[in-house]
Protein backbone atom coordinates (compact mmCIF):
# COMPACT_ATOMS: atom_id res chain seq x y z
CA UNK A 1 0.00 0.00 0.00
CA UNK A 2 2.71 2.50 1.04
CA UNK A 3 4.90 1.46 -1.89
CA UNK A 4 2.09 2.16 -4.35
CA UNK A 5 1.53 5.60 -2.81
CA UNK A 6 5.21 6.46 -3.08
CA UNK A 7 5.34 5.24 -6.66
CA UNK A 8 2.32 7.35 -7.63
CA UNK A 9 3.96 10.40 -6.01
CA UNK A 10 7.17 9.68 -7.93
CA UNK A 11 5.19 9.25 -11.15
CA UNK A 12 3.64 12.71 -10.71
CA UNK A 13 7.04 14.28 -10.06
CA UNK A 14 8.67 12.53 -13.03
CA UNK A 15 5.80 13.53 -15.32
CA UNK A 16 6.28 17.12 -14.18
CA UNK A 17 10.08 17.22 -14.56
CA UNK A 18 10.80 14.93 -17.54
CA UNK A 19 7.75 13.16 -18.96
CA UNK A 20 9.65 12.10 -22.10
CA UNK A 21 11.82 9.73 -20.03
CA UNK A 22 8.80 7.52 -19.42
CA UNK A 23 8.35 7.26 -23.21
CA UNK A 24 11.72 5.49 -23.56
CA UNK A 25 10.98 1.76 -23.88
CA UNK A 26 11.95 -0.05 -20.69
CA UNK A 27 12.23 3.08 -18.55
CA UNK A 28 9.90 2.90 -15.59
CA UNK A 29 9.08 5.39 -12.89
CA UNK A 30 11.89 4.37 -10.54
CA UNK A 31 14.48 4.35 -13.32
CA UNK A 32 13.37 7.76 -14.55
CA UNK A 33 13.43 9.17 -11.01
CA UNK A 34 16.95 7.79 -10.51
CA UNK A 35 18.10 9.33 -13.78
CA UNK A 36 16.61 12.73 -12.90
CA UNK A 37 17.99 12.70 -9.38
CA UNK A 38 21.50 11.50 -10.20
CA UNK A 39 21.91 13.68 -13.30
CA UNK A 40 20.93 16.90 -11.48
CA UNK A 41 20.51 18.83 -14.72
CA UNK A 42 21.81 17.72 -18.09
CA UNK A 43 23.18 21.21 -18.78
CA UNK A 44 26.21 20.21 -16.66
CA UNK A 45 27.51 18.02 -19.49
CA UNK A 46 29.09 19.48 -22.62
CA UNK A 47 28.21 16.52 -24.85
CA UNK A 48 26.64 13.08 -24.97
CA UNK A 49 30.14 11.60 -24.65
CA UNK A 50 30.70 13.48 -21.38
CA UNK A 51 27.33 12.23 -20.14
CA UNK A 52 28.26 8.65 -21.10
CA UNK A 53 31.55 8.99 -19.24
CA UNK A 54 29.66 10.24 -16.16
CA UNK A 55 27.22 7.33 -16.32
CA UNK A 56 30.00 4.78 -16.80
CA UNK A 57 28.56 3.56 -20.11
CA UNK A 58 31.41 4.77 -22.31
CA UNK A 59 33.07 1.53 -23.44
CA UNK A 60 36.79 1.13 -22.90
CA UNK A 61 38.49 -0.26 -26.01
CA UNK A 62 40.94 -3.14 -25.50
CA UNK A 63 43.34 -4.27 -28.20
CA UNK A 64 45.22 -7.51 -28.24
CA UNK A 65 46.98 -8.47 -31.43
CA UNK A 66 44.52 -8.19 -34.30
CA UNK A 67 41.36 -8.31 -32.18
CA UNK A 68 39.58 -5.23 -30.95
CA UNK A 69 37.07 -5.52 -28.12
CA UNK A 70 35.48 -3.32 -25.48
CA UNK A 71 35.85 -3.72 -21.75
CA UNK A 72 33.33 -2.92 -19.05
CA UNK A 73 33.79 0.55 -17.60
CA UNK A 74 33.84 0.30 -13.80
CA UNK A 75 33.90 4.07 -13.30
CA UNK A 76 31.12 6.62 -13.32
CA UNK A 77 27.95 6.94 -11.32
CA UNK A 78 26.93 3.39 -10.42
CA UNK A 79 23.29 4.21 -9.60
CA UNK A 80 22.81 5.87 -12.95
CA UNK A 81 24.64 3.02 -14.66
CA UNK A 82 22.34 0.54 -12.94
CA UNK A 83 19.23 2.40 -14.13
CA UNK A 84 20.54 2.42 -17.71
CA UNK A 85 21.46 -1.26 -17.43
CA UNK A 86 17.93 -2.15 -16.33
CA UNK A 87 16.52 -0.29 -19.35
CA UNK A 88 18.97 -2.23 -21.55
CA UNK A 89 17.97 -5.58 -20.03
CA UNK A 90 14.30 -4.78 -20.55
CA UNK A 91 14.93 -3.76 -24.16
CA UNK A 92 16.92 -6.91 -24.95
CA UNK A 93 13.88 -8.91 -23.89
CA UNK A 94 11.98 -7.39 -26.78
CA UNK A 95 10.33 -4.27 -25.32
CA UNK A 96 12.21 -1.72 -27.42
CA UNK A 97 14.86 -1.27 -30.11
CA UNK A 98 17.56 -2.87 -27.95
CA UNK A 99 16.82 -6.40 -29.09
CA UNK A 100 17.34 -5.55 -32.76
CA UNK A 101 20.54 -3.64 -31.90
CA UNK A 102 22.01 -6.61 -29.99
CA UNK A 103 21.05 -9.02 -32.76
CA UNK A 104 22.66 -6.75 -35.37
CA UNK A 105 25.90 -6.57 -33.36
CA UNK A 106 25.91 -10.35 -32.93
CA UNK A 107 25.48 -10.74 -36.71
CA UNK A 108 28.55 -8.50 -37.12
CA UNK A 109 30.60 -10.95 -35.05
CA UNK A 110 30.36 -9.57 -31.52
CA UNK A 111 29.56 -11.87 -28.64
CA UNK A 112 26.28 -11.41 -26.78
CA UNK A 113 28.15 -10.04 -23.75
CA UNK A 114 29.95 -7.44 -25.85
CA UNK A 115 26.72 -6.45 -27.59
CA UNK A 116 24.87 -6.03 -24.29
CA UNK A 117 27.78 -3.94 -22.97
CA UNK A 118 27.44 -1.58 -25.93
CA UNK A 119 23.67 -1.18 -25.57
CA UNK A 120 23.72 1.02 -22.41
CA UNK A 121 25.88 3.54 -24.26
CA UNK A 122 23.25 3.76 -26.99
CA UNK A 123 20.56 4.20 -24.31
CA UNK A 124 22.72 6.82 -22.57
CA UNK A 125 22.70 8.85 -25.78
CA UNK A 126 18.90 8.59 -26.01
CA UNK A 127 18.51 9.65 -22.37
CA UNK A 128 20.88 12.58 -22.91
CA UNK A 129 18.91 13.79 -25.95
CA UNK A 130 15.64 13.39 -24.06
CA UNK A 131 16.87 15.31 -21.02
CA UNK A 132 18.43 17.98 -23.24
CA UNK A 133 15.11 18.43 -25.05
CA UNK A 134 13.23 18.56 -21.74
CA UNK A 135 15.73 21.04 -20.28
CA UNK A 136 15.48 23.29 -23.34
CA UNK A 137 11.68 23.21 -23.27
CA UNK A 138 11.62 24.00 -19.55
CA UNK A 139 13.98 26.95 -19.93
CA UNK A 140 11.95 28.36 -22.85
CA UNK A 141 8.76 28.01 -20.81
CA UNK A 142 10.28 29.79 -17.80
CA UNK A 143 11.69 32.56 -20.05
CA UNK A 144 8.24 32.99 -21.60
CA UNK A 145 6.58 33.16 -18.14
CA UNK A 146 9.13 35.75 -16.98
CA UNK A 147 8.55 37.84 -20.10
CA UNK A 148 4.79 37.69 -19.56
CA UNK A 149 5.20 38.74 -15.91
CA UNK A 150 7.32 41.76 -16.82
Report whether 59 contacts 117 (CB < 8 A): yes
Which band of pLDDT confidence, cut at 50, 70 and 90, is reported for residue 123? very high
Q: Domain residue spans in the chain? A: 19-137
pTM for the predicted model, two decimal places:
0.82
Q: What is the pLDDT of residues 52-94, one digit of tens each?
A: 999 999 878 887 777 777 677 788 899 999 999 999 999 999 8
Contacts of 75 (CB under 8 A, 6+ apart): 53, 56
Amino acid sequence: MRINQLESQLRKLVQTLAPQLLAIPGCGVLGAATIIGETAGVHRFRSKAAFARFTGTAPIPVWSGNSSRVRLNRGGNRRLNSALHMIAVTQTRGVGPGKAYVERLMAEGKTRTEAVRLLPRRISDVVYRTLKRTDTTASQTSDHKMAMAA
